[in-house]
Amino acid sequence: MKIRCLLTILAATAVLCIALGLLWLYVHVNRTVDTVDTADTVKTVVKEESLPTVQPPVLAKSRFVPTAMPPRNIASVDKPELTVVDTLQSIPVTPQRWAVLQETLADQITSDVAAVVGWGERSEPQRNLVRQLGTNLSDVDRKVLSAFLDLPFSEQRGTGNLAFNALKNDVLGKLLQQNVIETGFGFYLVRMYKDERLDDVWRDYCIQFVSAYWNRRCVLGAWQPDEKQALLDACRHAATCVDIPVAGTALLTLCRIAEESPNSMESPVPISDIAVGVARNENACNAARATAIQVCARLNRRDILSLCRKLAVSPGDVTLRMSAIAALGSLGDRSSLAAIQSLSTSSEPRISLAARGALHCLAATD
């Protein structure tokens, strides 16, 4: 009996992972892009496993208000500070400033970091070099990598948008693995999220990384005043942008923070209420609704069961239906057993997969 219980619990966990994984694939994965290696001008085809499948629509300018920034005086950054990111929090990395940083710092960083940011020759793909970097980078190496994150795609030459964002994704992940993370780095994530110079995919990634940064900062300590609140406010703002996938990203990020730091989530509107609202909003994009449904299930909001029953059997977006089916299973809705059994033989393989996973979850509740 104990073995069977363990197996059924593992099955329930697996179906949620599969559903969320497939949702991630739908929004961020499985796209083949052509890139040009500027080092040797040889055209290659790259399969990037973490790349979005579709470009999100342009973010409405009325939704994102850039943070107040002082006048850009390039001369004032001729000798940039190397140990903190204060300037990055307020002054964007313009092409002129990037050129100044290169002239000032290129001979102070390692050859691998130089190759990653395009300041030096590379012997292998940049993403491979990022993975090989250690977790004890120097102040100047971290400074340059942090500045690289703020470069807009419009300044790139010879690489596609998806490949560029995949590289920045890896760089940010590596920075958050460091033994030292600059204090106030959370403000930098917030500024990039709000910065309309940057493309929509990268701004979505900044929200996605909030929970990872939150966890690392809780381990390392040294939170700055109002830094936590700035991160939460940015995520709650993103959760209102229901016409684009970032709303779902924000909900999942807030959910993870709530699980790790429940005392930090005091708000007049609980996360689960926001998630229910997005899930029920027929004007929201399907990717955001699908993620919202999974967040509702994760937070045991059984008041979405009627919505999930309807979506599961209705023709429409496959990802949204998969999320609804998975939620029925994880919430233990045995009244939907017959419908889920029927869906398990669907000719659409993604629907049948989700249904079989839901059946495993229901079996675990026996």
pLDDT tens-digit profile of 34-85? 333 333 322 222 233 333 333 333 333 334 443 333 332 323 333 334 333 4
Domain extent at residue 124: 64-208
Q: Where does the pLDDT of residue 95 fall: very low under 50, low under 70, confident under 90, or very high at 90 and above?
A: confident
Residue of 8, 33, 29, 7 whose CA lies nearest to 20? 29
- Does residue 6 carry a pLDDT above 70? no
Q: In angstroms, rounded to a whole number, what is the distance separating the alpha carbons of residues 179 and 118?
A: 24
Q: In angstroms, rounded to a whole number, what is the distance separating the alpha carbons of residues 87 and 146?
A: 11
Q: Are residues 80 and 169 in the same domain?
A: yes
pLDDT digits (tens, 9 = 90+) for 331-366: 999 999 999 999 999 999 999 999 999 999 999 876
Q: Are residues 29 and 80 in the same domain?
A: no
**pLDDT for residue 296:** 97
Task: Count the alpha carbons within 13 Å of 248 in the hemisphere toward its beta carbon.
Answer: 26
**pLDDT for residue 267:** 65
Q: Are residues 88 and 25 in the same domain?
A: no
Q: In angstroms, rounded to a whole number, what is the distance separating the alpha carbons of residues 162 and 180?
A: 29
Domain boundary among 186, 208, 230: 208
Q: Are residues 137 and 21 in the same domain?
A: no
Residue found under tokens 């659409």: 348
Q: Where does the pLDDT of residue 260 fall: very low under 50, low under 70, confident under 90, or very high at 90 and above?
A: confident
Domain boundary among 208, 233, 248: 208
Q: Are residues 105 and 142 in the same domain?
A: yes
Residue of 184, 186, 182 whose CA lies nearest to 144? 182
Q: Are residues 69 and 11 in the same domain?
A: no
pLDDT digits (tens, 9 = 90+) for 10-26: 444 444 454 445 444 44
- Does residue 91 carry a pLDDT above 50? yes
Q: Among residues of the chain, what percentage have pLDDT more than 90?
A: 62
Question: Which stretch of 27-31, 46-50, 203-207, 319-323 has the lowest confidence by average pLDDT?
Answer: 46-50
Q: Are residues 74 and 200 in the same domain?
A: yes
Question: Which stretch of 20-29, 161-170, 208-217, 261-270 has the lowest confidence by average pLDDT?
Answer: 20-29
Q: Are residues 130 and 13 in the same domain?
A: no
Q: Are residues 69 and 23 in the same domain?
A: no
Q: Indicate whether 93 belongs to any domain.
A: yes
Domain boundary among 183, 208, 233: 208
User: Could you give the number of structural domains in the chain?
Assistant: 2
Q: Indicate whether 312 belongs to any domain.
A: no
Q: Indicate whether 54 belongs to any domain.
A: no
Q: Indicate whether 219 belongs to any domain.
A: no
CA distances, 276 to each of 27, 273, 284, 322 (Å) = 21, 5, 12, 17
Q: Are residues 177 and 129 in the same domain?
A: yes
More confident residue, 54 or 222: 222
Q: Among residues of the chain, what percentage have pLDDT more than 70?
A: 73
More confident residue, 23 or 135: 135
pLDDT digits (tens, 9 = 90+) for 270-286: 899 999 999 999 999 99
